Chains A and B, each alone.
Chain A
Amino acid sequence: EAQLLESGGGLVQPGGSLRLSCAASAFTFSSYAMSWVRQAPGKGLEWLSTISGGSRSIFYADSVRGRFTISRDNSKNTLFLQMNSLRADDTAVYYCAKVWAASGVFDSWGQGTLVTVSP
């Protein structure tokens, strides 16, 4: 069973930057697309970004395009999310998720890391 562990969350001031990491294990990381999904406090799930296994294809939601950058290091089985120009409405739990491309679903999720954007 795939294991995903996010890190890097914390408190950041508006306009600041943060880099999230997601360490993957128990599956062939480079063979799968990976995504970031977030959930604001008391709100629903919001897909943010997806990167293909070889990093050739990258997709973003309109809400983060131009501010967030997804990347991966297959040699270290790690997924990243660089977040710049952070705003209060970016406050959320950020999840990494493994993509099951044939069915268009997220079949494994990490436990999430909380990002709080506040003065």
Chain B
Amino acid sequence: DIQMTQSPSTLSASVGDRVTITCRASQNINDWLAWYQQKPGKAPDLLIFKASNVQHGVPPRFSGGGSGTEFTLTISSLQPDDFATYYCQHYSSYLWTFGQGTRVEIK
């Protein structure tokens, strides 16, 4: 099975900072990679699909990149609403795998 590893596990940042979260796959997954944002007590929200496509309604400060085994989620200028936990997710052959999550907290 393909394993998804996110780094860092926790990220401390300030409003206005540019932040990048990395997700690594244990083998080549082409661009079958999504990113979700989850706030405490809420369901996840889809941010990015197919590695770099921003979901409708997601602010343009969010972007995704990468292919193969290494992927990134970048927030160009962190806003107060962005403090949350972020998960990467891979899909292949009717199996879905999530990364362990990255918590973005206020510095």
Contact = CB atoms under 8 A, between A and B. Distances in A.
Contacts of A112: 43
Interface string B12-46: 00000000000000000000101010100011111
Interface in A89-119: 95, 100, 103-107, 109-112
Contacts of A107: 46, 49, 55
B43 A109 contact: yes
B10 to A, nearest CB: 13
A37 B91 CA distance: 14
Contacts of A100: 49
Contacts, number: 60
A35 B49 contact: no
16 contacts: A35-B96, A37-B96, A45-B36, A47-B95, A47-B96, A47-B97, A47-B98, A50-B96, A59-B94, A100-B49, A103-B91, A104-B32, A104-B90, A106-B44, A107-B55, A112-B43
Interface residues of A, number: 21
Nearest to A101: B91
Given A95-B43, A109-B44, A44 B50 contact: no
Contacts of A46: 98
A75 interface: no
B18 to A, nearest CB: 25
B87 A104 contact: no
Given A103-B50, A104-B32, A111-B43, A44 B101 contact: yes
Residue among B32, B43, B53, B87 having the largest count of chain A Cβ atoms under 10 Å? B43
A104 B101 contact: no
